[in-house]
Amino acid sequence: MLTVCQNHIKNEISKASFVSVIADETTDMSSICQLVVVYRYVLSNGKPIERFWGFTNTPGHDSKSIAECIQASLEKVVDKPEKLISQSYDGTNVMSGQHFSVQAFIRCAYKNALYVHCYAHQLNLIVGQATSQNQEVGVFFSKLSDITNFFNKSPQRVAVLDETVRKRIPHGSATRWNFKSRTVNRVYEYRKQLIECMGKIESTSKHAVAINKAGAIRRMLEDSKFVFWLTMFDNIIPHVHVLYNQLQKTRIDAALIRK
């Protein structure tokens, strides 16, 4: 099915005058780095369209590895280098830096491929930079990630979580504020149940590491300073989500974003 879809996309792109590539990379729950590639072009009837091309497992998180994966996909659909006029990624240095970044490597092979910043990710960077200015906030989010990491790759701990909380804790992301916000919302809503969960793991686990870590997280969830920041961000996040969801709309355009 994927082959049929990709052949259809290649046929459409062969008839298009220009094409743009959009890509993003992330690490899944099994710690495997995956890259998603999307092509945007104009059909013969004048309608602009975006097509999902596929997922690729990148050999590393460095700019050269990611650029090679994108270029391998481009070589399958772009017959003339000058046909690629745009490339769009997030704003991290690996993707968008002026030198030795993904966009710089792609630009070497495709001279017309101007880099366009992902507007939705700009919001992630702005909020991330704003929160990083306060050391206590940085400590808070570091501690928050301890909760998700505690349940990562541990079926026994997840079983206790399902029994007491009946909800999974979303994994955060270093570059995606919306994923961090989901973690904040879930921990705020189920803080008391999580305290109960940690207490149960402390009393039933036979592993010293799990007992010590569960105790540390339980005390953290009861700490007044942690609860203060948790409550504050739970109140702030809905307002950020309004703007984030606007930027994620499929019919959004640059003129509306500037407003």
Instruction: Indicate the domain borders of the chain.
Output: 1-117, 122-248
Q: Which of 155, 151, 158 is nearest to 172 (CA)?
A: 151
Q: Up-side HSE of residue 135: CA atoms within 13 Å toward CB?
A: 0
CATH topology of domain 1-117: Nucleotidyltransferase; domain 5 (3.30.420)
Residue located via tokens 């989010």:
141
- pLDDT, position 254: 59
Confidence band, pLDDT 50/70/90 cuts, at residue 27: low
| Residue 106 or 257, more confident | 106
What DSSP letter does each residue of 6-40 carry, written as one string?
HHHHHHHHHH-S-EEEEEEEEE-TTS-EEEEEEEE
pLDDT digits (tens, 9 = 90+) for 50-90: 999 999 888 877 888 889 999 999 999 998 999 999 998 87
